[in-house]
């Protein structure tokens, strides 16, 4: 991919909102779903938190690693990442169908809220067993949400299927 591919214009779409074949190919080559304009790479941000939470019951000292996890927006994640087409990912997200992006953002906000609340509770917890219980519960809550977000990204979840399929 050339550096010009990172500096693209907003999505070229027809009157029905469908993007051009060239644009779809550009997005797909960058691991961005051309139908939704979203990239699964953002989910790595939440999977990192889940991985740290899963370690806490067996290694309580990993709580400190989880507590250093900071919530990031979609754009913040890509700005801070080594994702090759990060500017394209941000632009595609900005150009995504508002209803798809809204559903995705709602799921991401829920995950962020859970992880932030669990972090606060862990900071206040006095015992490793309490932290382990919090970690276990948070994992049970967040893992299905990551799967739901992946479904939205891939256009197979509860998102407006007609809108996704028409793109």
Show pLDDT as tens, one digit a residue, over the chain (167 residues).
333 333 334 444 433 456 789 989 999 999 999 999 999 999 999 999 999 999 999 999 999 999 999 999 999 999 999 999 999 999 999 999 999 999 999 999 999 999 999 999 999 999 999 999 999 999 999 999 999 999 999 998 554 444 433 44
Q: Tell me how far apart the alpha carbons of residues 71 and 17 are, in angstroms, rounded to a whole number.
A: 32
pLDDT in tens, 124-152: 999 999 999 999 999 999 999 999 999 99
Q: Tell me how far apart the alpha carbons of residues 18 and 5 are, in angstroms, rounded to a whole number.
A: 20
Q: Tell me how far apart the alpha carbons of residues 2 and 164 are, in angstroms, rounded to a whole number.
A: 28
pLDDT at 157: 52
Burial group, residue 9, by CB count within 10 angstroms (0-12, 13-18, 19+)? exposed
Closest CA to 66 of 81, 78, 50, 44: 50
Instruction: Name the pTM for this structure.
Output: 0.81
pLDDT in tens, 14-27: 334 567 899 899 99
Domain spans in the chain, listed from the N-terminal domain onward: 19-166
Yes or no: say if 66 and 53 are a contact pair by the CB < 8 Å rule.
yes
């Amino acid at each position: 991919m050339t550096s010009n591919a990172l500096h693209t214009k907003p999505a070229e779409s027809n009157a029905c909102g469908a993007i051009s074949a060239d644009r779809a190919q550009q997005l797909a080559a960058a691991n961005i779903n051309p139908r939704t304009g979203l990239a699964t790479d953002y989910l790595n941000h939440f999977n990192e938190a889940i991985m740290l939470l899963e370690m806490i019951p067996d290694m309580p000292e990993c709580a400190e690693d989880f507590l250093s996890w900071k919530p990031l927006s979609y754009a913040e994640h890509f700005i801070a990442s080594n994702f090759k087409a990060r500017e394209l990912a941000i632009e595609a997200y900005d150009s995504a169908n508002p209803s798809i992006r809204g559903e995705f953002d709602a799921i991401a906000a829920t995950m962020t809220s859970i992880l932030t609340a669990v972090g606060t509770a862990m900071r206040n917890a006095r015992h490793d067993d309490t932290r382990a219980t919090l970690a276990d519960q948070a994992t049970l809550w967040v893992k299905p949400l990551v799967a739901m977000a992946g479904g939205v990204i891939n256009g197979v979840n509860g998102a407006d299927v007609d809108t996704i399929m028409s793109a």
